[in-house]
Amino acid sequence: MRLLLSKRAILFRIVCLFSAAALIGSIWNHATEAMLLAASVLLLWHYKHLFMMDRWLWRDRKLTPPNGWWSWQQIFDGVYYQQRKSRRKQKELQDRIRRFRDGAEALPEAIVVLSDEWSIVWCNKLAQLLIGLRWPQDEGQRIDNLVRHPAFQKYLNNQDFKEALVLTAHHLEELVLEFRFVPYGESQYLLIVRDITQLKQLEQIRKDFVANVSHELRTPLTVVQGYLEMLEPGQLPDEAMWQKIHPVMLDQTLRMQALVQQLLALSRIEASGPVQHDRTVNVPGLLQYLQQEAQSLNRDKGHTIEFIIDEQLVVKGSEDELRSAFSNLITNAIKYTPPGGEIKVSWQRQHHKAVFSVNDNGEGIAPKHVKRLTERFYRVDQARSRATGGSGLGLAIVKHVLSRHNSRLLIFSEPGAGSSFSFSLAAEPVTSQD
């Protein structure tokens, strides 16, 4: 329990001290001198404690107070108590600030705390990465001195923060950033910056996709429509005309059908949930079936097609999706190899991996095209690919299927020498058949 200094107790002590001094001094008839001496001793005693306090507060780094006497001990204890209380409060405050900063660091957005003068109070690591701020060097700097984009300056001057500002940053790779100012407290602002590059890319992909599909369908539809318009209603075309337009119309309709089928296959894969990796796929059986299909496709091409299949090699995954990947690669090799070519399809074990590859000695593909082959609707030669009934979606489907099976497509190609398309999957261990 803390005792307050009482005026009465102090007065009592002073009276006692000086009475005792006067009494003792009066024995030698020097009462006044004795009282003066007592006053001096009292003054020195107080100075001694003042000095102790000064040393404790400013020079010693210790928290525990020095040992004092009477009222001074009480003052030391009081200061000690207040110091402890303020240290505890400071620690609590620091903990709170740390928790707030940890929370702000964990956010997936860049956060900058700004004062009413737009100067930086604090920023998280993502802000340093996304808008190139440096912490703590940029503390106190105005944000518009560091983000120098004219649109940002205008946005800040207008102070209309209902809509977010979208900017393309060039200091990293092409980054699309969304800036949002949120007012809080007394004219303070939180600047929240979000990386929306992926969102914008997806939006662009969606727009391109719709444009591509419309374009792909428009061409055959225009051809068929043109022929149909040439024919008068109720009037049948003559034999020569029919011979000419029938194969073209049939060809264009087949193209549309192939495109719609590929689109359906792609959307089916995209819409289906995660691949069930507990289902065993009998790949050798699947490839046998695809071998027959390849022979019939090859009828007017005259390629030599060789299948080298490990009959024991099975994997886990989705049968439909893997069939689509195998089939697209085999069909492409047949389609894009000039007549009389050599194609080798292989399904072999390599350590713990099951490796599928299709090699052909066709025309090959130039390096600048190779990296773009798996993009939707990408074709090396638009006209040739269309002539072979290609939609440009085959390899996009393969890529998608493989990413769902934790694999990826490897393409090696040399113009004039041929191409190799391969991928590997986790092989199932061989089960001994007794």
* Residue 333 C-beta: closest distance to ligand ADP, Å: 5
DSSP strands (E only) in 101-197: 110-114, 120-123, 165-169, 175-184, 188-195
* Residue 342 C-beta: closest distance to ligand ADP, Å: 12
Q: Which of 25, 65, 220, 392 binds ligand ADP (CB under 6 A)?
A: 392
Nearer to ligand ADP, 298 or 391 (CB): 391
Nearer to ligand ADP, 181 or 336 (CB): 336
> If binding is defined by CB under 6 A, does position 402 make contact with ligand ADP?
no
* Residue 218 C-beta: closest distance to ligand ADP, Å: 17
Neighbouring-strand partners of residue 347: 309, 356
* Residue 143 C-beta: closest distance to ligand ADP, Å: 47
> If binding is defined by CB under 6 A, does position 65 make contact with ligand ADP?
no
Per CB under 6 A, the segment of 21-29, 68-76, 115-123, 386-394 that binds ligand ADP is: 386-394
Kindly state the DSSP code that residue 358 receives in the 8-state scheme: E
> If binding is defined by CB under 6 A, does position 317 make contact with ligand ADP?
no
* Residue 262 C-beta: closest distance to ligand ADP, Å: 7
> If binding is defined by CB under 6 A, does position 379 make contact with ligand ADP?
yes
> If binding is defined by CB under 6 A, does position 341 make contact with ligand ADP?
no
> If binding is defined by CB under 6 A, does position 332 make contact with ligand ADP?
yes
Q: Which of 263, 314, 333, 425 binds ligand ADP (CB under 6 A)?
A: 333
Residues in contact with ligand ADP, shown as a per-residue x/- string from 405 to 434 under the rule CB under 6 A:
--------------x---------------
Residues in the chain: 434
Q: At residue 81, what are phi and psi to the nearest 5 degrees?
A: -65, -45
Tell me the Ramachandran region of residue 122: left when phi exceeds 0, alpha when psi lies from -120 to 50, beta otherwise: beta
Structure tokens at 207: 């727009």
| Torsion, CA 191, CA 197, CA 203, CA 208, rounded to 10 | 150
Q: Which of 394, 401, 425, 427 binds ligand ADP (CB under 6 A)?
A: 394
End-to-end CA distance of the chain: 89
Quick one: 323 exposed, middle or buried, by C-beta within 10 A (0-12, 13-18, 19+)?
Answer: middle
Quick one: 200 exposed, middle or buried, by C-beta within 10 A (0-12, 13-18, 19+)?
Answer: middle
Quote the CA–CA distance of 260 and 262 in Å, as a whole number: 5
Q: Which of 380, 401, 402, 425 binds ligand ADP (CB under 6 A)?
A: 380
User: What residues contact 195, with CB distance under 8 A and at least 6 apart?
Assistant: 130, 175, 176, 177
> If binding is defined by CB under 6 A, does position 365 make contact with ligand ADP?
yes
* Residue 306 C-beta: closest distance to ligand ADP, Å: 15
Give residue 38's identity as a one-letter amino acid code.
Answer: A
Nearer to ligand ADP, 252 or 419 (CB): 419
Nearer to ligand ADP, 76 or 336 (CB): 336
Mind giving me the DSSP string for 370-397? HTTTTSTT--SSHHHHHHTT--S-HHHH
Contact 224, 252 (CB under 8 A): yes
> If binding is defined by CB under 6 A, does position 336 make contact with ligand ADP?
yes
Q: Give the number of residues in contact with ligand ADP, rule: CB under 6 A.
A: 21
Per CB under 6 A, the segment of 37-45, 121-129, 198-206, 384-392 that binds ligand ADP is: 384-392
> If binding is defined by CB under 6 A, does position 345 make contact with ligand ADP?
no
> If binding is defined by CB under 6 A, does position 330 make contact with ligand ADP?
no
Q: How many other CB atoms sit within 10 Å of the CB of residue 59? A: 8
With both helix axes pointing from N to C terminus, report the angle between 31-54 and 7-27 in degrees, rounded to the nearest 10.
Answer: 140
Residues that bind ligand ADP (CB under 6 A): 328, 332-333, 336, 360, 362, 365, 373, 378-381, 385, 390-396, 419
